[in-house]
Copies of this chain bind each other. A is one copy, B any other.
Amino acid sequence: MFVLINLKTYPCDPVAVAEAARDVDETTDARIAVAPQATHLERVAETGVETWAQHVDPIDYGSNTGHTLAEAAADAGAVGTLINHSERRLKLADVDGAIRAAERAGLETVVCANNPAQIGAAAALAPDAVAVEPPELIGTGTPVSQADPDVVEDAVDAAARVDEDVTVLCGAGISTGEDVVAAADLGSSGVLLASGVAKADDPAAALADLVEPL
């Protein structure tokens, strides 16, 4: 299982969460990565944890002010990037452009979407993975695997019908090891996490609990 921790713009110490993630990663078969803000990419990557960007723009080197260039994220230590998170939705053509930009810079890609139909659409753009996150469950603490298990299974089916090479993650409300196991049982290859770890008093303990059943 791939466990990707999105630090959003939370008031957490990104380096402390990154070190916790790195340490827990060494104790488990799960693959753990951390996605900090662009300004923190370098500091997080220096901890040795697998580092992801939260977003890259559909641009190349050139006259772009206030954008995130995939090459700059890679140069700062990122090895992958989220694209089209529900808090950073992109136009269809720009999802395509952002995937191509990430590929060009050697970044792995996870494209987020709200429902199985959009997961199929995202898969047709040939990212490495897609992640289904029903917006109404984000931040609720109610895991998608429990609140709406069909959406995970349907997303896995939708992606497989379009491109069998695209793996499927799920997110929204996941905070316990049981949730992660349930996600795996529904066909998911990984989970997106955020507040459950990033806002925990003890991120290492929260993560250890999370991957313990795996």
Contacts and interface: CB of A to CB of B under 8 A. Distances in A.
A65 B126 contact: no
B124 A158 contact: yes
Contact of A92 (B59, B66, B113, B194): B113
Contact of A123 (B122, B124, B194, B195): B124
A22 B60 CA distance: 28
A68 B120 contact: no
A142 interface: no
A84 B96 CA distance: 14
Interface in A144-170: 158, 161-162
Given A42-B42, A42-B43, A72 B9 contact: yes
Contacts of A75: 39
Contacts of A90: 91-92
Contact of A121 (B38, B43, B124): B124
A67 B124 contact: no
A125 B158 CA distance: 10
B96 A121 contact: yes
A104 interface: no
B65 A87 contact: yes
B65 A88 contact: yes
A33 B186 CA distance: 46
A194 B90 CA distance: 27
A113 to B, nearest CB: 7
